[in-house]
Every structure is written in structure tokens, then in C-alpha cells.
Chain A
Amino acid sequence: DSGVTQTPKHLITATGQRVTLRCSPRSGDLSVYWYQQSLDQGLQFLIQYYNGEERAKGNILERFSAQQFPDLHSELNLSSLELGDSALYFCASSANPGPMDEKLFFGSGTQLSVL
């Protein structure tokens, strides 16, 4: 158990809909990362928050947004969903924001299926 909690574990929805994925980091970790994993793209970095503020942005679509709340949990909002958004979405946390040697602890992921 990594200590990172993600809900829900599975999500099935239709194109055009909006969903929210939730993540609680490990106790004491201030940094939260979101990754998308698909068969053709591998594990792609989406966005990072540190202590409530956006720290870094990766390949995140404009239809996607995220935030980190004062209690440090984070939510990833996906809107106007398309078939191609079907993927595993992982949240990871680390104790500090970087730089490149941060050790990431991953949750079990949310499997999103857009039908």
C-alpha cells in the first residue's frame, strides 16, 4: 500500500460528459502529480501541484483541469469527454516538489472508460 488513495477505481461514462477523479496523497506529502496511462502513449505527465499551487504542467488538455485543496487532496476534472480520453489516470505524491529526483508514490489509479 503506497498510502495514496484514489477514487473511484473504475468510471464508465459517455462522450461529452464530465467526471471528477479524486486523490488523497500520503500523509505529510505536499506534492501531488497526475499522470495518464494508455497503451499507445505510455505514462504521460499531466500536472503537478505543491501545497495548493500549480507547480508544473505537462501534456494536459484544455478540457482537463485540476486543483489541490487546503487539506492537500486533489481533484482532476475531465470535461467534454471523448473516446480517446479512455485511460488509466494515476495520482502520485511526493514529499517535496523536485527538482528531478523526487520519489513518487503512486495510487492504484482510476480506470476511465468513455463509451
Chain B
Amino acid sequence: TQLLEQSPQFLSIQEGENLTVYCNSSSVFSSLQWYRQEPGEGPVLLVTVVTGGEVKKLKRLTFQFGDARKDSSLHITAAQPGDTGLYLCAGGTDSWGKLQFGAGTQVVVTP
């Protein structure tokens, strides 16, 4: 059983479209991070959010942390083929002790 549930598991879209991926848990997070992993490489940290309701923007990527700090979303505007990858959320709680990762959302953006 995953402590963090990510949805959808797989997303295939055309270049220029928008997409949103979600990360949910029944636990309250101390902080939440988003990573992107490309084939043959390790995950790369995109952003960390720590405050409920926080919104962070990274060029065409918008990250939102839920008010209750139990969920997060990643929205990509006008997706490009370079956005293709496995998007992982990772969260920590006092009871978990360490960062736990979700199973990830595989995003494929075709030209």
C-alpha cells in the first residue's frame, strides 16, 4: 500500500496541451517535494512546498500544496516533449520519519 497515491499513473498528451497530476495522502505532510525522472537517470528535484495553500511556479510548471497539507498537484501549461518523464511526489511526516515517494505519474508528450 502506497502512503502517497499519485494519479493518473500514465498520461499521454500532444505538445501544447495542458496537464495536471495529483499526489494525495491521508496523512498531513511536513513538506512535499516533486521530482522528475528521465529514463536511465535518477530523480531530479523540481520544487519543495512546505506551507498549506502554497503555490510555486517554475516556468510552465505550477505546483500547489493543499490547504490541509494532505495533497498536492502539478500543472504543466503548454507541454513540450522535453517535459516527458516520470513525475514523483515525495512527502515526509513526523510518524514516517523519512521521505516517502509515490509510485509516480509517467507523462509522455508527443510532438
Do the two chains belong together in a single complex? yes
B48 touches A2 (CB 8 A): no
Assuming A43-B101, A99-B92, A100-B98, is B48 touching A4 (CB within 8 A)?
A: no
Q: How far is the CA of A109 from the CA of B38 in the complex (A)?
A: 12
Instruction: Verify B97–A104 contact, CB threshold 8 A.
Output: no
A103 touches B33 (CB 8 A): yes
- Check if B99 is an interface residue, CB within 8 A of chain A: yes
The answer to the question of B44 belonging to the interface, with a C-beta cut-off of 8 Å to chain A, is yes
A101→B96 CA distance, assembly (Å): 13
B12 within 8 A of A: no
Q: How far apart sit A44 and B98, CA to CA, in the bound complex (Å)?
A: 11
Q: Are A100 and B41 in contact (CB under 8 A)?
A: no
Q: Chain B: how many interface residues by the 8 Å CB criterion?
A: 28
Interface of A is mostly: loop
**Residues on B with beta carbons closer than 8 Å to the beta carbon of A45:** 98-101
B-facing mask of A92-109, CB < 8 A → 1, else 0?
Answer: 100000111111111111
* B104 (CB) vs chain A CBs: closest residue: A42
- Is A58 an interface residue, CB under 8 A from the partner? yes
Contact of B97 with A2 in the complex, beta carbons under 8 Å: no
Contacts of A92 in B (CB 8 A): 42
Pairs A–B under 8 Å by Cβ, sample size 21: A35-B101, A42-B2, A42-B101, A42-B103, A42-B104, A43-B43, A43-B101, A45-B101, A56-B98, A58-B98, A90-B43, A100-B92, A100-B94, A101-B48, A101-B50, A101-B92, A102-B99, A104-B90, A105-B45, A106-B44, A107-B42
Lowest 6 CB-CB distances: which A-B pairs, in order? A100-B92, A106-B42, A43-B101, A100-B30, A42-B103, A101-B31
- 10 more contacts with CB within 8 A, not counting A35-B101, A101-B31, are A4-B42, A42-B104, A56-B98, A99-B92, A100-B93, A100-B96, A104-B43, A105-B45, A106-B42, A109-B42
Residues of A bordering B, CB below 8 Å: 2, 4, 35, 42-45, 48, 56, 58, 90, 92, 98-109
